[in-house]
Amino acid sequence: MSQPADLIRALVRPAVQSMQAYHVPPATGLVKLDAMENPYGWPEELVDGWLGRVRQAQLNRYPDPSAAELKQRMRQALDIPDGAELLLGNGSDELIQLLGMALGGAGRTVLTAGPGFAMYRLIALFTGMRYEEVPLREGDFALDLDAMLAAIAAHRPTIVYLAYPNNPTGNAFDRAAVQAVIEAAPGVVVLDEAYHAFCGESFADALAQHPNLLVMRTVSKMGLAGLRLGYLMGHPDWLAEFEKCRLPYNISVLTQLSARFALEHVEVFAEQTRRLREERERLFAALEAMDALTVWPSRANFITFRVPEGRAVSVHAGLREQGVLIKKLDGSHPMLGDCLRVTVGTPEENGQFLRALERALG
Ligand SMILES: *Cc1c(COP(=O)(O)O)cnc(C)c1O
């Protein structure tokens, strides 16, 4: 094959050439505690009921481009404010991309607080935007309001992203500080509530008061990561603009059908997430009891902790050798040196992780 290197250098946009593709490590055969998935499957009756619906699916037809029935079901099952419109994405990752396409371009800036969610930066770069990150406070990862307000004044960001609770730090920022950011921002503020099911607090009720506020959620962390379904809530006029950038059939027949079915049984997921919240507290207590670790409290379904200096790579590898996969945060951000992140699993999985961790720490 002839080498395309020169053409690539000439044609691929510099911002893209300088990026790294998002890497997902292989997990086959491992206890998978790296990606904030819900570990629980469905009860047998639910699987049977779902298969009955799948049998009726018409895969020869395009999906309903407006996903009208799914949206109606979402309004019944998820607490969505009355005046808010819904925009659906193939995961909330796609919604972040849609926002970049509608609001992005040269001279426009995405601002967020870091360490934060990796996709804000990646998508800002490939939608031609500048990316600015305000460090969270050292120690407790709180939002540094003065620094945020100074950055908002200096950069006049088109989009501010705040994850509430934040990934990978697990904390939910002070509400008054978030409110102050919304009021000071000249552009839109997107509250990313991916971990809503584990937090219990939301900014959705504030949508009516702020013309620049958007609230984004996903069904991924509550137990449906495989479906790829995220939703943005906001004023109908905003969402009408973003709709123009949405590809008409982004939510597949199988996703629409499966999400509708799952949300008819939303109590199953509510029970699973309730158990995970309890498990999170048990896991937190067990980690905190280990002298070698610094552990941060979490409002999400994961816990971030720091191992002794220089040990993150060996502890992460040691866990993996014992069949447990978690996320190595060390090396991903200056404030996350020696840090690892574990997703809350079943009691058995968490027990396996804790035993493996003790051994890996030596
Ligand atoms: C997991 C996550 C998302 C992405 O969710 P998908 O709907 O699965 O694409 C968005 N934001 C944050 C903060 C997350 O942790």
Domain closes at, from 201, 230, 264: 264
Task: Flag whether 333 is in a domain.
Answer: yes
Return the structure tokens found at 233. 């809530």
Rounded average pLDDT over 163-192:
98
Which of 16-20, 196-200, 220-224, 256-260 is the least confident region? 16-20
Do residues 221 and 38 make contact, with C-beta atoms less than 8 angstroms apart? yes
> Ligand 1 pocket, 123 CB below 6 A?
no
Ligand 1: atom nearest CA of 96 is: 10
- Nearest residue by C-alpha to atom 15 in ligand 1: 167
> Ligand 1 pocket, 169 CB below 6 A?
no
Give the residue, 71 or 79, on which the prediction is more confident: 71
What is the Å distance from ligand 1's center to 115 Cα? 15
What is the Å distance from ligand 1's center to 3 Cα? 37
My answer on whether 260 and 273 are in the same domain is: no
My answer on whether 99 and 132 are in the same domain is: yes
Nearest to 263 by CA among 54, 82, 75, 101: 75
pLDDT confidence of residue 60 = 98
Nearest to 234 by CA among 244, 242, 224: 242
Residue 15: pLDDT band (50, 70, 90) is confident
What is the Å distance from ligand 1's center to 93 Cα? 6
Residues contacting residue 313 through CB under 8 Å, at least 6 positions apart: 328, 330
**Percent of the chain surpassing pLDDT 70:** 100
Rounded average pLDDT over 146-154:
98
Task: Flag whether 212 is in a domain.
Answer: yes
My answer on whether 284 and 150 are in the same domain is: no
> Ligand 1 pocket, 120 CB below 6 A?
no
My answer on whether 338 and 256 are in the same domain is: no
Residue 327 pairs with which residues in a beta bridge?
341
pTM: 0.96
My answer on whether 254 and 119 are in the same domain is: yes
What is the Å distance from ligand 1's center to 322 Cα? 28
Q: Identify the CATH number of the domain in which residue 335 sits.
A: 3.90.1150.10
My answer on whether 190 and 331 are in the same domain is: no
Ligand 1: atom nearest CA of 89 is: 7
Residues present in the chain in total: 362
What is the Å distance from ligand 1's center to 164 Cα? 11
What is the Å distance from ligand 1's center to 291 Cα? 32
My answer on whether 213 and 328 are in the same domain is: no
The Cα 116–Cα 110 span in angstroms is 13
**Does residue 79 surpass a pLDDT of 90?**
no
Instruction: Write out pLDDT tens, residues 185-206.
Output: 999 999 999 999 999 899 999 9
Q: For residue 292, give the H/E element and its range.
A: none
My answer on whether 72 and 37 are in the same domain is: no
pLDDT confidence of residue 258 = 98
pLDDT confidence of residue 339 = 98
> Ligand 1 pocket, 92 CB below 6 A?
yes
Rounded average pLDDT over 38-49:
97
Task: Flag whether 53 is in a domain.
Answer: no
> Ligand 1 pocket, 349 CB below 6 A?
no
My answer on whether 234 and 275 are in the same domain is: no
Average pLDDT in the chain: 97
Rounded average pLDDT over 23-27:
90
- Nearest residue by C-alpha to atom 14 in ligand 1: 194
The Cα 312–Cα 54 span in angstroms is 44
The Cα 77–Cα 189 span in angstroms is 25
CB atoms within 10 A of CB 112: 25
My answer on whether 148 and 279 are in the same domain is: no
> Ligand 1 pocket, 74 CB below 6 A?
no
pLDDT confidence of residue 9 = 95
Domain closes at, from 242, 264, 286: 264
Rounded average pLDDT over 133-152:
98
Rounded average pLDDT over 297-309:
98
Rounded average pLDDT over 103-127:
96
My answer on whether 79 and 184 are in the same domain is: yes
What is the Å distance from ligand 1's center to 362 Cα? 34
According to DSSP, the β-strands at 302-306 and 294-295 are antiparallel
Which of 1-5, 126-130, 271-275 is the least confident region? 1-5
Domain that holds residue 137: 59-264
My answer on whether 242 and 300 are in the same domain is: no
**Does residue 1 surpass a pLDDT of 80?**
no
Q: In what order do the strands lie in the sheet with 302-306?
A: 294-295, 302-306, 339-343, 327-328
> Ligand 1 pocket, 93 CB below 6 A?
yes
Q: Identify the CATH number of the domain in which residue 170 sits.
A: 3.40.640.10
Which position has the token pair 């505690």? 33
Task: Number of helices (H) and strands (E) in the chain: give both, helices first.
Answer: 14, 13
**Does residue 133 surpass a pLDDT of 90?**
yes
> Ligand 1 pocket, 343 CB below 6 A?
no
Question: How many domains does one find in the chain?
Answer: 2
> Ligand 1 pocket, 163 CB below 6 A?
yes
Q: For residue 263, give the H/E element and its range.
A: helix 253-264
Rounded average pLDDT over 353-357:
98
